[in-house]
């Protein structure tokens, strides 16, 4: 993870302890304040003036007479963007075009739930936040609680949203509009695949598996080398829903759209203990009982998974494109030739669906005075030449396909075809409470502490409680 900045600069202001304590008081009042924000939609305004050409990788922006002035506050996480020259240049180039604009970029500490709590507090406290860089995992919950603006409802966002393929537009429950979307500037997009060590597979006389049946057939040949086919970090609890996002889309996809199937589950039209869900849980349990998963995977954390793969204890590792740089920087203790393959198919299926994971841009429902400037900035940052320049600098994938010509690493390019059939992560669709229960139940399956039917019933019980309390997305 990127280091958190430690200094207070004009570029990025890091929250100090007193700020966090102040936000904590606001969190306690969030249940009262958040519903009021749904009514605070952005007022109508005239379309922003065109921004002069100039890309992050070109000769720099041309001077213009700018209608924008004042401070634009951006709430983000994951460290100081000014530490990444490719990111900083986009902000700096926009400011050069609009000299009266000042950036107030606030990198909140923490990741996941900790960031969620603090970022929510910034919004409900009434701070002048103009732009939020939010993990897609939180978008539906923030929309449910009235915190995010409807980007698709404002014609000023039309050009920006048209540049980003629709499958990267994330909406609230039951919506077809956009509440958040990624760009290369938001550090791009990620997907999932199967990392494999060609050197070990060659030694065992094997090829990368196309199906889960192929995975099971690899158990014996690899055992002769003292290895298992696959390692996974099930001990890192938040990763466990990834096993569901591997199996369930293929199983549900036999009869139609897997995302539509999950929506029906969230609505209560299908149970989490339905045959499709039970088959997905059984598929996960079989990875353990068949010997595909390295013994102890139920307690294996993320760094240990990497070490086991690099040490040749497993020939493959299931994870995301975010892991590539760490594996390439690691020190293998066996012959190691790294490649990546699409997810192995469940029996009777024909298409695998990797996930589209990203942090993206969203705007608070309460319009800030800087909103017109934010629209202008997003228009600039989404221009193809600017987006491609950021990809060139970061070497991370863009949702805009043309930008990815700037990806140079050969293994990184092996991920690109997987984006074609990739879909929104299923765990971004259901409620946070369901996400927590799915992660717990899947870990128990990997450990052998529960069975598929019991896992489904436990998750369905949580779903029933959400619906009856009015906290379900479709309650």
Q: Where are the domains of the chain?
A: 17-181+358-419, 191-355+422-469
Confidence (pTM) = 0.84
> How many whole angstroms separate alpha carbon 154 and alpha carbon 131?
15
Query: Which of 449, 426, 438 has its CA nearest to residue 246?
Result: 426
Residues 6 or more apart in contact with residue 131 via CB below 8 angstroms: 72, 73, 74, 75, 361, 362, 363, 374, 377, 378
Q: For the chain, give the number of residues.
A: 475
DSSP-based three-state secondary structure for 232: coil
Higher pLDDT, 396 or 62: 396
Question: Is the pLDDT assigned to residue 32 strictly greater than 70?
Answer: no
Render pLDDT for 138-181 as a digit per residue (tens, 0 to 9): 999 999 999 999 999 989 999 999 999 999 999 999 898 999 99
Question: H helices of 133-274, where?
Answer: 139-144, 158-163, 198-204, 212-217, 219-223, 241-253, 258-267
Give 252's pLDDT tier (boundaries 50, 70, 90): very high
Give yes or no on whether 17-181+358-419 and 191-355+422-469 have one common fold: yes
> How many whole angstroms separate alpha carbon 133 and alpha carbon 147?
13
Higher pLDDT, 63 or 253: 253
Q: What pLDDT, on a 0 to 100 scale, did the predictor assign at position 77?
A: 82
* Overall fold of domain 17-181+358-419: D-Maltodextrin-Binding Protein; domain 2 (3.40.190)
Residues 6 or more apart in contact with residue 210 via CB below 8 angstroms: 344, 345
Render pLDDT for 414-431 as a digit per residue (tens, 0 to 9): 999 999 999 999 999 999
Question: Is the pLDDT assigned to residue 51 strictly greater than 70?
Answer: no
Asked if CATH classification 3.40.190.10 holds for the domain at 191-355+422-469, the reply, yes or no, is: yes
């Amino acid at each position: 993870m990127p280091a958190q900045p430690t200094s207070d600069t004009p570029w990025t202001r890091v929250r100090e302890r007193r700020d966090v304590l102040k936000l904590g008081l606001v969190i306690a009042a969030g249940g009262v304040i958040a519903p009021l924000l749904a009514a605070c939609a952005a007022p109508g305004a005239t379309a922003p003036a065109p921004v002069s050409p100039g890309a992050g990788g070109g000769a720099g922006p041309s001077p213009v007479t700018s209608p924008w002035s004042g401070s634009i506050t951006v709430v983000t996480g994951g460290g100081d963007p000014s530490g990444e020259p490719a990111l900083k240049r986009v902000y700096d180039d926009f400011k050069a075009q609009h000299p009266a604009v000042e950036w107030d970029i606030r990198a909140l500490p923490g990741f996941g739930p900790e960031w969620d709590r603090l970022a929510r507090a910034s919004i409900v406290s009434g701070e002048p936040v103009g732009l939020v860089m939010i993990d897609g995992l939180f978008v539906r919950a923030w929309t449910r609680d009235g915190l995010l603006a409807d980007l698709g409802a404002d014609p000023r966002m039309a050009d920006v949203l048209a540049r980003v393929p629709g499958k990267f537009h994330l909406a609230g429950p039951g919506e077809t509009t956009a509440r958040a979307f990624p760009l290369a500037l938001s550090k791009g997009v990620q997907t999932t695949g199967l990392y494999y060590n060609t050197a070990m597979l060659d030694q065992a006389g094997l090829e990368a598996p196309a199906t889960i049946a192929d995975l099971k057939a690899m158990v014996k040949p690899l055992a002769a080398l003292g290895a298992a086919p696959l390692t996974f970090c099930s001990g890192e609890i938040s990763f466990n829903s990834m096993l569901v996002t591997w199996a369930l889309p293929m199983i549900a996809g036999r009869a139609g759209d897997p995302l539509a199937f999950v929506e029906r589950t969230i609505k209560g039209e299908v149970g989490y203990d339905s045959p499709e869900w039970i088959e997905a849980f059984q598929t996960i349990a079989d990875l353990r009982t068949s010997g595909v998963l390295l013994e102890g995977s139920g307690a294996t954390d993320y760094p240990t998974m990497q070490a086991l793969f690099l040490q040749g204890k497993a020939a493959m590792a299931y994870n995301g494109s975010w892991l590539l740089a760490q594996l390439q920087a690691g020190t293998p203790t066996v012959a190691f030739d790294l490649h990546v393959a699409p997810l192995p198919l469940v029996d009777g299926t024909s298409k695998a669906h990797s996930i589209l994971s990203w942090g993206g841009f969203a705007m608070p429902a309460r319009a800030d005075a800087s909103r017109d400037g934010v629209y202008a900035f997003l228009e600039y940052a989404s221009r193809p030449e600017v987006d491609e320049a950021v990809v060139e600098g970061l070497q991370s994938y863009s949702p805009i396909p043309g930008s990815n010509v700037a990806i140079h690493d050969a293994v990184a390019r092996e991920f690109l075809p997987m984006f074609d059939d990739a879909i929104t992560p299923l765990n971004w669709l259901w409620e946070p409470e369901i996400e927590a229960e799915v992660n717990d139940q899947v870990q128990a399956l990997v450990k052998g502490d529960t069975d598929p039917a019991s896992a489904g019933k436990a998750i369905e019980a949580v779903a029933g409680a959400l619906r009856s309390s009015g906290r379900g997305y479709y309650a």
